[in-house]
Amino acid sequence: MILGHIGARKGSKGVPRKNFREICGKPLIDWSLDQLLEHPRVDAVVVSTDDEEIYEHAIAKGALKMGLRPAHLASDTAGKWQVWQHALEVSEEILGEPVTAFLDLDCTSPLRLMEDIDNALNLFFDEKPDMVMSCCDAHKNPYFNLVEPDETGALQVSKPLPGGVVARQQAPKVYEHAASTYVVAPDYLRRANALYEGRVIPYVMPQERCADIDTPLDFRIVEFLMKDRETHHD
């Protein structure tokens, strides 16, 4: 039983009601929700939200009737992990059977492809980690060109190595956490209190599919990339 999940909070300081704002012909959430509903490997879909309009929209499209998210999980300080735990618990009660994989798609990252979902699921079932998390190659590297001030205000490399690193190629590999696609083992989700307590492995995606909407500029950039993809696909 693979459970697809989307979290869509009503409030957003950067882009008001961004999760339901139209982009390229449909609400932002639908670019992820439709992927879950249409994916042949996803057995059930649930949307955790405190927004009544988004909730009714998701139910009409085929999501489970889990009710609105509790108030303590609807603030801008509420953690993703606790929202996931609540959604899993309620969904298993509705379904009447245990979930084998909890698949979360972030609705602010609409550029993922269906193949990304398949690849993340395959990695999860092949490697059997506690969690698969989407990542992309980092633009900057803390061993090489990320710096921070010391107690005197002078800049130092964030993570210095003996002898220093004079070329990016010599630096250890680092990734950016891309808020796009996650596959979590339900037992891990129930027992852990945070993301990195267990064995979390990366599903590496191209940077152009990892763009995340957090600001009005992000929205314009993602919209441009989506239109550009559509133009070149046609």
Tell me what pLDDT residue 110 has. Answer: 95
| Residue 36 buriedness (CB in 10 A; 0-12 / 13-18 / 19+) | buried
Q: What is the pLDDT of residue 166?
A: 77
Per-residue pLDDT in tens (0 to 9) along the chain, 234 residues: 999 999 998 866 667 688 999 999 999 999 999 999 999 999 999 999 999 999 999 999 999 999 998 888 877 777 889 999 999 999 999 999 999 999 999 999 999 999 999 999 999 999 999 999 999 999 888 988 899 999 999 999 999 888 788 777 778 889 999 989 999 999 999 999 988 999 999 999 999 899 989 899 999 999 999 998 888 765
The tens digit of pLDDT for each residue in 3-31 reads: 999 999 886 666 768 899 999 999 999 99
Q: Rounded to whole angstroms, how far apart are CA atoms 51 and 208?
A: 29
Helix axis angle for 52-61 and 28-38, nearest 10°, is: 30
Q: Residue 201 and residue 143: Cα distance in Å, rounded?
A: 21
User: What is the distance, to the nearest Å, from the Cα of residue 28 to the centroid of all Cα atoms in its chain?
Assistant: 14
Which of left, alpha, beta for 153 (phi over 0: left; psi -120 to 50: alpha)?
Answer: left
Query: pLDDT value at position 72?
Result: 82
- Interatomic CA distance for residues 174 and 135, integer angstroms: 10
Helix or strand (DSSP H, E) at 177: strand 175-184
In this structure, which amino acid lies at residue 224? F
Instruction: Give residue-wise pLDDT tens across range 210-229.
Output: 998 989 999 999 999 999 88
E strand intervals along 66-124: 101-105
CA distances from 106 to 126, 140, 145, 153, 182 (A): 23, 23, 29, 38, 9
Domains for the chain: give ranges and CATH numbers: 2-135+175-233 (3.90.550.10), 139-173 (no CATH)
Report the pLDDT value the prediction gives residue 11, as an integer from 0 to 100. Answer: 67
Q: How far apart are CA 219 and CA 213, in angstroms?
A: 5
Distance CA 99, CA 109 (A): 24
Burial of 31 from C-beta contacts in 10 A (0-12 / 13-18 / 19+): buried
Which pTM was predicted? Answer: 0.90
Nearby residues of 43 by Cβ (< 8 Å), 6 or more positions away: 1, 2, 3
Distance between first and last Cα of the chain: 35
